[in-house]
Amino acid sequence: MEYFKGLEILDKEIKEKVKTEHVYKVFNQFMRPLITNEEFAFLENLEKYLLEEVEPKINFAKSVYELLPLLGKGNYMQRLNKHGDMKYYGMRYELLLAMAITILDPELDLARVVSGLIFTNPLFLHGKTNRLNTILEEVLSGEKIGCICITERTQGSDAVNMKTLIEEHEDYVTITGEKIFTTNGPKADYFIAYGVSDIEDPRGTMYQVVIEREFEGLKTSRLGIHSVPRVDIGQTMMNSVKIPKENILGGKGQGYKNLFSGLVAERDTIIGSSLGISWLSLITALIYTNNRKQFNKKVYKFQAVSFPIATLASELVAATVLGLRTGSEYRKFLEHPEFKFIRYNAAFSSGAKIVCSRLAHRCAYESQHICGGVAFTDNLKLEKAVQISKLQEVIGGTRNIQTLLVSSVIKNILKQIE
Ligand SMILES: Cc1cc2nc3c(=O)[nH]c(=O)nc-3n(C[C@H](O)[C@H](O)[C@H](O)COP(=O)(O)OP(=O)(O)OC[C@H]3O[C@@H](n4cnc5c(N)ncnc54)[C@H](O)[C@@H]3O)c2cc1C
């Protein structure tokens, strides 16, 4: 895909004011009352690392993948699971990581979330073999890239009834099928893929396997998704790909359980990215309008400008409190894996994803409108924020599917008084 960097028309003084370092400063003011001292210390260190080590290497006209090793070097590919000597980890830290990286570069965070969190979490939880441990280390270093293959051409929301076939053999299985919308797929070294040995019984026969780029029968192609031009999203073709036993993450039936328990972590980190998009947009609008003058006045001084920003800021603080709460709930989910609690937690994270991903789009769109023409150029990150905000409602399951999950738990609650 072709990228180009356009002409700079942003006022030099405003360009200086709106730089990431200042966006982080304002962000931290909002975040300070919402998080603990330890979380705040983590956030400040992370921002320092991102500003010093990552931002100077970012080129918005180039794909994001060369930046992943820089995140790996700081042990920032994910923060959900303990890795190496990290002191701070857990879902609340993962949410802060997603917010801070998104503010820096929303496309980089999308690629990171898929490789660093959605790909590695099943390896942390279920990967027992030496080979899987090696793969985990490689992906956490950012040097190798992971992706996840669930969605098929005919099976989107109804992913359970997948058509990808697993053939069982004594020492290995083979996998055959087509997956689409694989984020990172065309660039990936490793693929977590799901398939079933009996399409009439997907729950009882689903496998979760790790495919390696070199395995014979694997082919990837890129889809034309123009809203995130620096991230490759593709089709993954598997033609009788042979998977050795050591690469089976979830055997017959276990694959289904792993798929569903993994979706909560996926939704939670998407909540973090959505909040990051909102904060990036709103703070950019805040700083820009506080410096841009029209009619001899800073435009922020017009109530028609400052009131919508204040209204969105109030909603965003509320959504951030809710988002952080999904981080605390996630810990309970691990501590109480009984079915009732899993259902509650799935619904809680779905409800929060509905709120946060819709708000991301509204904050990005409204902030762009509030700033005017320059916000449509590549001089500000607002157009990127608008484009990526649209994906947040679809990835990890559409708005309707999240609502379906919430409504089924509500139905259960109502049974108490039937
Ligand atoms: C940019 C991008 C990145 C993605 N990354 C990945 C990835 O890395 N790996 C992966 O496996 N997948 C990925 N996906 C796929 C994503 O998870 C699916 O697009 C999503 O689950 C919806 O499936 P679908 O597109 O087939 O829509 P469909 O399932 O065909 O849905 C079409 C419409 O019908 C609605 N609908 C469907 N069923 C119901 C129902 N029961 N009740 C009410 N409404 C319903 C949906 O909400 C939607 O509005 C990605 C998608 C995009 C766009």
Rounded to whole angstroms, how far apart are CA atoms 286 and 294?
Answer: 15
Q: Which atom of ligand 1 is least distant from the CA of 397?
A: 21
For a ligand 1 pocket test, name from 181, 220, 259, 266 the mutation site with the most ligand atoms within 8 angstroms of its C-beta: 181
Ligand 1 nearest atom to the CA of residue 391, by list position: 1
Q: Ligand 1, atom 30: nearest CA belongs to which residue?
A: 156
pLDDT in tens, the chain (418 residues): 667 889 999 999 999 999 999 999 999 999 999 999 999 999 999 999 999 999 999 999 999 999 999 999 999 999 999 999 999 999 999 999 999 999 999 999 999 999 999 999 999 999 999 999 999 999 999 999 999 999 999 999 999 999 999 999 999 999 999 999 999 999 999 999 999 999 999 999 999 999 999 999 999 999 999 999 999 999 999 999 999 999 999 999 999 999 988 899 999 999 999 999 999 999 999 999 999 999 999 999 999 999 999 999 999 999 999 999 999 988 777 777 666 777 788 889 999 999 999 999 999 999 999 999 999 999 999 999 999 999 999 999 999 999 999 999 888 888 888 8
Give residue 161 CA to ligand 1 midpoint distance, Å: 14
Ligand 1 atom, smallest distance to 404 CA: 42
- With the CA atoms of 68, 181, 351 and 273 taken in that order, what torsion angle do they form, in degrees rounded to the nearest 10? 20
**Quick count: other Cβ atoms within 10 Å of Cβ 341?**
14
- Look at residue 401 and give its three-state secondary structure: helix
Among 109, 152, 223, 394, residue to substitute to test ligand 1 (most atoms within 8 Å of Cβ)? 394
User: Integer distance in angstroms from the first to the last C-alpha of the chain?
Assistant: 57
Cβ atoms of 52 and 99 closer than 8 Å: no
Q: What H or E segment, with its residue span, contains residue 236?
A: strand 233-244
Residue bearing the CA closest to ligand 1, atom 14: 181
Ligand 1 site, CB within 6 A: 114, 147-151, 156-157, 181-183, 225, 233, 391, 394-395, 397-398, 400-401, 404
Give me the amino acid identity at 109: D
* Helices and strands (H, E) in the chain, number of each type: 14, 10
For 124, other C-beta atoms within 10 Å of its C-beta total: 17
Substitution site in 153, 157, 158 for ligand 1 pocket (most atoms within 8 Å of beta carbon): 157
Contacts 24+ apart (CB under 8 A), 294-303: none
What residues contact 25, with CB distance under 8 A and at least 6 apart? none
Give the pLDDT confidence score for residue 336 in this predicted structure. Answer: 73
| pLDDT value, residue 343 | 76
Yes or no: say if 162 and 212 are a contact pair by the CB < 8 Å rule: no
Produce one character per residue of 55-90: b if its CB has 16 or more CB atoms within 10 Å, e if not: beebeeeebbbebbebbbebbbbbbbbebeeeebbb
Spacing, Cα 25 to ligand 1 middle (Å): 36
> From the alpha carbon of 227, which atom of ligand 1 is closest?
1
Closest Cα to atom 11 of ligand 1: 150
Residue 344's pLDDT is 80
Residue keyed to tokens 């999904």: 326
Q: Which atom of ligand 1 is nearest to the CA of 157?
A: 29
Tokens of residue 184, six digits: 């990172």
Give the atom of ligand 1 at the shortest distance from the alpha carbon of 147. Answer: 8
- In this prediction, residue 1 carries a pLDDT of 60
pLDDT of 412: 85
Ligand 1 centroid – CA 314 distance (Å): 30
CB 206 within 8 Å of CB 259: yes
Kindly write down the DSSP assignment for every residue of 119-180, as one continuous string: IHHHHHHH--SHHHHHHHHHHHTTSS-EEEE---SS-STTGGG---EEEE-SSEEEEEEEEE
Q: What is the pTM of this model?
A: 0.97
Q: What was the pLDDT predicted at 261?
A: 83
Residues comprising the chain, all counted: 418
Which of 155, 387, 398 maximizes ligand 1 atoms within 8 Å of its Cβ, making it the mutation to test the pocket?
A: 398
DSSP alpha helices (H): ranges in 206-291? 254-291
Q: How many CB atoms lie within 10 A of CB 91?
A: 27
Report whether 187 contacts 65 (CB < 8 A).
Answer: yes
DSSP 189-218: SEEEEEEES-TT-HHHHEEEEEEETTSTTE
Q: Measured between alpha carbons, how far is 305 from 260 in angstroms, rounded to an integer? A: 44
CA of 115 to the centre of ligand 1 (A): 19
Residue 184 alpha carbon, nearest atom of ligand 1: 8
Burial (0-12, 13-18, 19+ Cβ within 10 Å), 43: buried
